[in-house]
Structure 1
Amino acid sequence: MNRRRNLWISLIAALLSASLVAGLYQLQRIQMQREGTVAVVVPSRFIGAGERLTTEMLAYKHIPESAWAPNMLVDAAAAQGKETVIPLGAGEPILDWKVGSYYLQPKPSESTFQIPKEYIRSISNGIRAGDKVLLYASGEGAPRRLFEESIIVASVKSSGNVEIDNMDNPNLMSMADGDKEKMYASRREANGMIEYLNLNMTEAQWLELDGLCKDGKLKVVVAYSPDSLNVEVSGEETRS
Structure 2
Amino acid sequence: MTKQTWAEWHAAHEENRADRHGFLAVTSLNFLNETPQRFTDAPGEWSTGPGGVVVDLTDGESLTIDGAEVTGRHEFGVLPERGGVTAGYGEAVIEVAKRGGFDIVRPRHPDHSLRTEYKGTPTYEPTEKWELGGRYVPFDEPRQITVGAAVEGLEHVYESPGRVEFEALGTPLALTVFNGHTPGTFFALFTDETSGVTTYAANRSLAIAAPGPDGSVVLDFNKATNLPCAYTEFATCPLPPAENKLPVAVEAGEKTPV
Question: Quick check: which one's helix share is greater?
Answer: 1
Q: Select the structure that is richer in strand.
A: 2
Alignment TM-score, normalising by the size of structure 1: 0.29
Q: Which protein has the larger Cα radius of gyration, Structure 1 or Structure 2?
A: 1
Q: Which has the higher contact order (CA 8 A, sep 6+)?
A: 1
Q: TM-score, normalised by structure 2?
A: 0.27
